[in-house]
Amino acid sequence: MNRKRDEQGSAIAEFVLIATPLFIPALIFFSSMQQSAKEEMTVSTLARQSLRAFITADDLSQGHQRIRFILNQYRELENQGRSSDDQRSGFTYNISCQSQGCLKPGSLVELSLYRSFEIEVYDSDQMARIEN
């Protein structure tokens, strides 16, 4: 009878000791995938709005000015409250049009928006602050 009492709870301890090292990498992986998906959705929405501003312009130079204005405004909003070392990088873009011109009605215009970003790995204290 004493033997059963001594082993009571050892399965829980074994599970915690074995499972914890396996769950931490999975948590880090899913956190980085969520951050990557969020960045992708943000850039996609920003590209859509920039393209709308471009095609409603009167000429190509005004269209490019509008795109640069939108991207700069977004970067300024995003960098508010960040230290100079923690500033986010800017965007680069490429516009391709059909042979008939970019601003003619019915023309196909494609805007590719590029940005590099770093995936942040959070420790347990940062994860708790994010969840709250």
CA-to-CA distance for 45 and 71, rounded, in angstroms?
12
Sequential pLDDT tens for the chain (132 residues): 455 556 667 888 888 888 888 888 888 899 889 988 998 899 999 999 999 999 999 999 999 999 999 999 998 888 888 887 777 778 899 999 887 788 888 889 999 998 877 766 666 566 556 555
What angle, rounded to 10 degrees, do the helices at 10-55 and 60-79 form? 150
Count of CB atoms situated within 10 Å of the CB of 93:
18
Q: Is 118 left (phi over 0), alpha (psi -120 to 50) or beta?
A: beta
Q: What is the pTM of this model?
A: 0.67
**Helix (H/G/I), strand (E/B), else coil: 71:** helix
CA-to-CA distance for 52 and 46, rounded, in angstroms?
10
